[in-house]
Amino acid sequence: MDKKEDKLRIIVIVLMTISIFLGAVKMLYDKKETKSNDGEKFSLEYKKIPATNMFKYRTLEDANNLIENGSGYFFFCNKDIVNCENYALYLYEEAQDLALNTIYYIDIKKDKENSTDAYKKLNELLKDKTDSIDFPLSVVVNKKEIIGVNKITDEDYWTADNIEKFKIEIMGYMNKISSNMCNDECND
């Protein structure tokens, strides 16, 4: 009996080890899959942006945490708003020119409509920087300090002169944070 029990124990341990290993592999694969799909997903929602881009999806809760405790470029918008498409395009172009690896994208529409706790917290975080959260909205954070807020709600804003002004403002923000941003591996 002892030998049978020992063999059974060994088989159970081997099966459990294999299960744990396969679970870990699946978890790593799923994380990699999600990471690589952010750009593709963003390009499906924002047609002017190619599938290889720097936009990374985050929840509003995640964004609030990063705003309070880190550095980053945050883009709050909603794919159904025409102005968000233009804003995203010029934001993408400037980030590409400056080799900014990550822009956190937060679809804020439902949080705003439902006045969620996360939305209220964002209002509190931005109270000294803007009187209202309208989108498209960019928030730029450098070492826990909000260094810039930009929102352009007028769809007719995008003239050649205004695009240039927008890009100059955005470039300044991106230059201030690019040295503090981690590569993609430390953001996830």
Q: Above pLDDT 70, what percent of the chain?
A: 89
- Give the N- to C-terminal CA distance of the chain in Å, as an integer: 50
CA atoms within 13 A on the CB side of 55: 31
DSSP single-letter state for residue 181: -
Non-local CB neighbours of 183 within 8 Å, separated by 6+ positions: 101
Q: What is the pTM of this model?
A: 0.76
Q: What distance in Å separates the CA atoms of residue 84 and residue 86, rounded to the nearest whole number?
A: 6
What is the pLDDT of the chain when averaged over all its residues?
A: 87
Q: Average pLDDT, stretch 165-180?
A: 87
**pLDDT at residue 188, rounded to an integer:** 45
**pLDDT at residue 166, rounded to an integer:** 96
Helix 82-97 × helix 160-178 angle, to 10° = 50
**pLDDT at residue 28, rounded to an integer:** 66
pLDDT in tens, 66-82: 999 999 999 999 999 98
Top CATH class, 45-187? alpha beta
Helix (H) or strand (E) holding 89: helix 82-97
